[in-house]
Amino acid sequence: MNLIIDVGNTLVKLAVFQQDELFEKRVVKHEDFLVEVMRILDKYPVISHGIISSVGKLNQEDLQSVASEIHLLILNSETKLPFKNLYKTPKTLGVDRIALVSASVKHFSDSNVLIIDAGTCITYDFINSENEYFGGAISPGFRLRYQSLHNLTANLPLLEFKPPELLTGNTTDSSIHSGVVFGVLKEIDGLIDEYEKKYSDLTVILTGGDTNFLSKQLKNGIFANSNFLLEGLNFILEYNTK
């Protein structure tokens, strides 16, 4: 069995896989990371290998504690990957994006795939049918857009995400909700349209924290999978332990 650790900016996702099957998933705060990992290892004593992907800060002592219990692969730019990486600055490529592209290879090999990860940032990653990864795009997610409107202006309030009731906002709050939410929706649909002009057989994957909302709003056909990153990490681990 494998232990999958995805360290985000605010939370940590923990998952247990038996080959391709997801047995359990937990979402915990950074400060609870080690306690929850040890609980999982107690519950599944057959876990022998693990992988960690980190875009956030994690206590190094906690990391060493886990590494003393199982064989732990730390995902970075030197890790052996199941695709050809043509990104011009591979050392700056986020490990979360590496995991997502790996998942697309696992599930949609021989396909042109656009992966959209909608979270704190919205990332777009493209891999072609020849298993060649080129890169993509990065833009602010919902929360960053709300925060920037508040932080970089004198009078606009800081709002929480809310689906707009009006296209034409008639208050400051409703105008912000309309601008942020419809802006994201039109951005995503527009980028999908541009890729489909070049690749008529494009497969589009949507994942990330805002998957449930976005999958119901976007006009383009997509596959929604909230566990796509975890599946990608598990695939990388299996690929490196054969």
pLDDT score, position 63: 86
Output the six-digit token pair for 3. Answer: 């232990």
User: What's the average model confidence in pLDDT over 212-241?
Assistant: 90
pLDDT score, position 74: 94
Mind listing the pLDDT tens digit for each residue in 124-175?
Answer: 999 999 999 999 999 999 999 999 999 999 999 999 999 999 999 999 999 9
221 pLDDT more than 80? no
On the question of a common fold for 2-74 and 84-233, the answer reads yes
56 pLDDT more than 80? no
98 pLDDT more than 80? yes
Q: For the whole model, what pTM was predicted?
A: 0.91
Mind listing the pLDDT tens digit for each residue in 64-95?
Answer: 999 999 999 999 999 999 999 999 999 999 99
Q: Per the CATH hierarchy, to which homologous superfamily does domain 84-233 belong?
A: ATPase, nucleotide binding domain (3.30.420.40)
Least confident of 4-13, 56-65, 159-168, 193-202: 56-65
User: What's the average model confidence in pLDDT over 220-242?
Assistant: 91
Q: Domain limits of the chain? A: 2-74, 84-233
Largest separation between any pair of C-alpha atoms in the chain:
59
| CATH of range 2-74; options 3.30.420.40, 3.10.180.10, 3.40.1180.10, 2.40.50.100 | 3.30.420.40
Residues serving a catalytic function are 96
Per-position DSSP letters for the chain, written without gaps between them? -EEEEEE-SSEEEEEEEETTEEEEEEEEEGGGHHHHHHHHHHH-TT--EEEEEESS---HHHHHHHHTTSEEEE--TTS--SSEE--SSGGGS-HHHHHHHHHHHHHSTTS-EEEEEESSEEEEEEE-TTSEEEEEEEEE-HHHHHHHHHHTSSS---------S-SS-SSHHHHHHHHHHHHHHHHHHHHHHHHHHH-TT-EEEEESTTHHHHHHH-SS--EE-TTHHHHHHHHHHHHH--
Give how far the C-alpha of residue 19 lies from the chain's centroid of Cα atoms, to the nearest Å. Answer: 21
